[in-house]
Amino acid sequence: MDNTGNALAGRTALITGASRGIGRAMAITFASQGANVVVSARSAETLADVVGEITASGGRALAVPADVMHEDSASTVVDAALAEFGRLDVLVNNAGGNSFMSPLATMRFAGWQKIFALNLDSTVRMIQAALPALVASGNGSIVNVSSVTGLRGSPLMSHYGAAKAAVISLTQSLAIEVAPDGVRVNALVPGWIDTDLTDFLRTDQGIEDTVIGRVPMQRWGTADEIARAALFLVSDASSFMTGQALVVDGGLSAQP
């Protein structure tokens, strides 16, 4: 924190999946705390909107359109961040999601692999590309976005749940490996959040009632509520915390 009270002053943060939803909220929150922000996603147009919003508020941001499913995307995005800002202190692996539901017994294996590639393989590639710069930072922080579906059984979403569970395990292993290098690694575990990803659940009142009926706080979380938890994890407020999974779910996972 500098004398302006900004938690991320002088730091550069790279966020994948930052054009919409949770990633966009993180980018705006981090920029409001003084970070230079590198936002990546596939759509150049929506990324330009995010950059416009941040620069209009006096922040600094760079858009790097890229598809995390492509093998060389990670180095492209990290190289662009370093070329623009000269350093990298924070990496948030947020790009991810799920596009279908199916019983495991009849799931097409290609579908299983696609969801692992999007949620897990992309995270591994980004980490490998960014780690040298995060070590050089001297105060590096990685946040991997998981999901409550990765904490327990998720019928019809075994593919997504297994990939998000793997994200937590990866977080724990990596945290131990890189702690001596001054890099912290934590997972952020959202419950049901109101974004484009969950729009399909809000089109049917019955389904929405069932989903939200199981949440003790009886409502959807907001992207801003996840962004504030991410800010905690990437800032010095959590300086002695690594290898942890921070659950932000309105009490969903606390239930028996």
Q: Rounded to whole angstroms, how far apart are CA atoms 17 and 11?
A: 19
Closer CB to ligand NAP, residue 67 or residue 209? 67
Least separation in angstroms between residue 32's CB and ligand NAP is: 18
Catalytic residue check, 160: yes
Distance in angstroms (rounded) separating the CA atoms of residues 225 and 149:
18
Angle at 246 between CA 28 and CA 235, to 5 degrees: 45
60 binds ligand NAP (CB under 6 A): no
**Chain residues 137-176 in contact with ligand NAP, contact rule CB under 6 A:** 145, 147
Q: How far apart are CA 22 and CA 198, in angstroms?
A: 12
What secondary structure, in 3-state letters, does 143-212 show? EEECCHHHCCCCCCCHHHHHHHHHHHHHHHHHHHHHHHHCEEEEEEEECCECCHHHHHHHHCHHHHHHHH
Catalytic residue among 30, 160, 192, 220: 160
Measured from the CB atom, is 43 or 239 closer to ligand NAP? 43
> Does 64 contact ligand NAP by CB under 6 A?
no
Among 66-74, 102-110, 130-138, 239-247, which window interacts with ligand NAP (CB under 6 A)? Answer: 66-74
Does 63 contact ligand NAP by CB under 6 A?
Answer: no
Which residue in the set 67, 72, 204, 209 belongs to the binding site for ligand NAP (CB under 6 A)? 67
Which stretch of DSSP H or E encloses residue 96? none
In the range 3-42, which residues lie near ligand NAP by CB under 6 A?
Answer: 16-23, 41-42
Residue with tokens 């929405």: 208
DSSP 221: B
- The binding site for ligand NAP (CB under 6 A) comprises 16-23, 41-43, 46, 67-69, 94-97, 118, 145, 147, 190, 192-193, 195-198
